[in-house]
Structure 1
Amino acid sequence: MLDFLDDLGHGIYAIDTGFQRPRFDAAYLMVEDGRAAFIDTGTNYAVPRLLAALEALGLARDAVDWVIPTHVHLDHAGGVGLLMDALPRARALIHPRGLRHLVDPKALWLGAMAVYGEAEMMRSYGRLVPVPTERAEASHDEQVLMLAGRPLRLIDTPGHARHHHAIWDERSRSWFTGDTFGLSYRVFDVDGRAWLTPTTTPVQFEPEPLKATTQRLLEARPEAMLLTHYGRVGGSEAEVRRLAAQMLVQLDEMVALALALRDAPDRHERLKAGLLDGYLAHLRAHGHAADADAAAWLALDAELNAQGLEVWLDRPPR
């Protein structure tokens, strides 16, 4: 088995896309009766790994029927167009609010470049490749897609982004959650228990829709969640509910911190520091050392989540 490919059972494989650092960003490959689907792709630079995973599993490129990004943030969907070029029979299934951005990625590129700058965009993501219009379609809430007779149910999951859907697999009793069920890095596991925190990255974070989405995910009584950042968490319905409660407590704390700092002159730096302090406090309660290495690991999330909370604070009421 490739060192970046993990067999999760039920025909589901996690692929470490190599984005930023090891075990940070996952794409998923589902295989059923010789047919396949990718759920999230990572960036352009992940595409060789995705194709290598197919080869390692003895699958031809024309065995892939679907490419399904959970949403169009580039660490999830930046490689969709380039991957589609290599998969002659695949169709892309994209949230209706995100479809136009992958068919014509100019606005997506410019928006991300405004945050990161062109040099970082080229280093981390590469030039975006459009998805051919005739090979792309919009998902809809409660859509059921068949992969070689295996049903996959899609639901609209706003809160992290308005262009986000999640995918339910009854066979494994798992949701592919993208970013709606937070972040959980394996370096923070303690005695087999995962630690999880919400993600509020720019630009469409909304706390109340995210809470509603979390409750809707739990209604299916999932036994595992398949996170893009990173991997499979849960193992039982009770464990998934424990993680959901952990996430919602932290979400309320993060929102309260942001509101308290709304008018602070040094808002960004104080918000970033407050988020990092909160992560480390919860890690210590989890039984982790929460040392300097943990702070360094979470520094990027503190920066991006602070940015997303500030966009939310400054957004005019709808």
Structure 2
Amino acid sequence: MPAPLPDFLEDLGHGIYAIDTGFQRPRFDAAYLMVEDGRAAFIDTGTNHAVPRLLAALTALGLSPDAVDWVIPTHVHLDHAGGVGLLMQSLPQARALVHPRGLRHMVDPKALWLSALTVYGEAEMQRSYGKLVPVPAERAEASHDEQVIHLAGRPLRLIDTPGHAKHHHAIWDARSRSWFTGDTFGLSYRVFDVAGRAWILPTSTPVQFEPDALKATVQRLLAAEPVAMQLTHYGRVGGSEGEVQRLAAELVAQVDEMVAAAQALRHAPDRHTQLRDRLLSGYLARLAAHGHTQPAEAADWLAMDAELNAQGLEVWLERAAP
């Protein structure tokens, strides 16, 4: 009988494993490990602090570090890609495949660090992310829209997916009929599952949120008729094409609701506070309709998302100002 997997490693079937990176709190931030015929790929890595878990996942599955062919961050926000450079130091055969708008930030992460610093502040950056390690330029390459790569013959298709960030791509795996969506298909925390049904919300985290682009991206993802979405925050959602469609409709409705709230408060003197509070109230109302019965717990979980989404909406408002 094989040894049980570590608590942070979940077998999702089809050779796909979710790794809880340990970022912020349990089951908040996932990296994915795909295994095919003894070869492996990481999709998203979490932060530098996640690297020991990623390497331990290989060991738990009987794989050596030189079995990894690809490291593919969905985009270069640090909770998805902060550990890429450090991880690559332990993976001698791996290449990093990065959206073309994000590639330079993996090779030289100084600007990436400074951008995140303006959102999170110095203390949080040091606590949560640590020093960024550059990826050697000769081991990194840019993806392109409709690119197909192979993992031991298993095709993986990449498409450009703007809306959350301009440097975002998603990865389609035909074997599992699922997308690895990064942040383009929103956030869905397992603590909010009710009777096996997930609840989802968009993320407009600064600084490149574009609601129309995001809605177009969601429709493009749905065109593949997926039965599941592999979210970084957190885990696999769906289970059927109909369930994915339901989640997509919920996501798009909330994008419109968030945008309307931001526009209504455009000239409010205390705009940020009002917008943050309105977002949180809206999330709690939708969660109650979903059947979740612990609003205090939900408010605690969603406080940071409401804050960051309000910041992102305000950046969008200023950019879209007539």
Q: 1:33-78 deviations in whole A, cap 9, x for unaligned?
A: 0000000000000000000000000000000000000000000000
**Counterpart in the other structure of 2:300:** 296
Distance 1:110 1:247 in 2: 30
Correspondence for 2:33 among 22, 29, 32: 29
**In structure 2, distance between residues paired with 1:5 and 1:184:** 18
C-alpha separation in 2, matches of 1:77 and 1:263: 36
Shift of 1:315: 1.1
Residues matched between the structures, number: 318
SS of the residue corresponding to residue 166 of structure 2 reads: coil
SS in 1 for 2:292: coil
The Cα shift of 1:117 comes to: 1.8
Name the TM-score, length of structure 1 as normaliser: 0.99
Looking at structure 1, the residues matched to 319 and 230 of structure 2 have their Cα atoms a distance apart, in angstroms, of 31
Distance 1:114 1:141 in 2: 30
Q: Deviations over 1:99-155 (max 9, x none)?
A: 001100000011111222222111000000000000000000000000000000000
* Residue of structure 2 aligned with 1:84, choices 67, 75, 88: 88
The equivalent residue for 2:236 is 232
| Separation (CA, whole Å) in 2 of partners of 1:217 and 1:14 | 20
C-alpha RMSD of the superposition: 0.9
Contact 1:36 1:147 in 2 (8 A): yes
Partner in structure 1 of residue 134 of structure 2:
130
Q: Which amino acid aligns with 1:75?
A: D
1:11 aligns with 2:32: no
Q: How far apart, CA to CA, are the structure 1 residues paired with 2:320 and 2:27?
A: 37
Deviations 1:199-246 (A, max 9, x none): 100100000000000000000000000000000000000000000001
Alpha-carbon separation, structure 2, partners of 1:55 and 1:214: 35
- Distance (Å, rounded) in 2 between the aligned partners of 1:51 and 1:14: 13
Over residues 269-288 of structure 1, what are the superposed CA-to-partner deviations in whole Å (9 max), with x where a residue is unaligned? 10100000000010011011
> 2:291: which partner in 1?
287
Distance in 2 separating the partners of 1:169 and 1:25? 20
Task: Give the CA deviation at 1:291.
Answer: 1.4
Shift of residue 316 of structure 1?
A: 5.0
Q: Distance in 2 between matches of 1:205 and 1:60?
A: 39
**Matches for 1:1-318 after TM superposition, within 5 Å:** 1-315=5-319
Q: Which residue identity does 1:201 align to in structure 2?
A: T
Q: Which of 45-54 and 289-298 deviates more?
A: 289-298
Structure 1 unaligned segments of length 5 or more: list them.
Answer: none
Alpha-carbon distance between aligned partners in 1 of 2:139 and 2:295, rounded to the nearest angstrom:
48
**Contact preservation (8 Å) 1:16, 1:24:** yes
Letter in 2 for 1:27: A
Gaps of 5+ in 2: none
In the alignment, the residues of structure 2 paired with residue 185 and residue 292 of structure 1 have an alpha-carbon distance, to the nearest angstrom, of 15
**Counterparts of 2:89 and 2:295, CA distance in 1:** 44
Cα offsets for 1:73-109 (capped at 9, x unmatched): 0000000000000100000000000000110000001
* SS in structure 2 of the partner of residue 8 of structure 1: strand
Question: What is the deviation of 1:257?
Answer: 0.1
TM-score, normalising length: structure 2: 0.98
Per-residue CA distance 1:281-315 (angstroms, 9 max, x = gap): 10011011141111001001001111100110011
Distance 2:246 2:114 in 1: 39
The DSSP-based 3-state class of the residue aligned with 2:89 is helix
Moved over 4 A (4+): none
CA distance in 1, matches of 2:160, 2:86: 25
**How far, CA to CA, are the matches of 1:252 and 1:111 in structure 2?**
27
Q: Distance in 1 between matches of 2:231 and 2:310?
A: 21
Tell me, yes or no, if the aligned pair for 1:283 and 1:290 is still in contact at 8 Å.
no
Alpha-carbon distance between aligned partners in 2 of 1:202 and 1:283, rounded to the nearest angstrom: 24
Which residue identity does 1:312 align to in structure 2? W
